[in-house]
Structure 1
């Protein structure tokens, strides 16, 4: 077994952000950040342009 210092769930998908427990927090999509409401299960996309101070590219 090789230890890389990166949890296995972070190595699977670079476009996903997960908690240390493995719970999915957000996904990076071409349109922006994709979040899922824990209560109603709706998916909300926050456009990169709507993020104050965002200086990165809008697409990957």
Structure 2
């Protein structure tokens, strides 16, 4: 889940994203650890599936054949 950890770190530098993360954290506090884990696993799977916005854009190195 390194990708998810990196994403969360990046979100901390954006005020709107941080506000959204605060709402998510507040909501998850009312859930069991198992439910919290399932939520974050689903988020990670979504982003790893490459179906997220921007997934169509290839990284520069990949586009150049590096």
Do both proteins adopt the same fold according to a TM-score greater than 0.5, normalized to the shorter chain? no
Q: When you count strand as a share of all residues, which structure comes out higher?
A: 1
* Larger Rg over CA atoms: 2
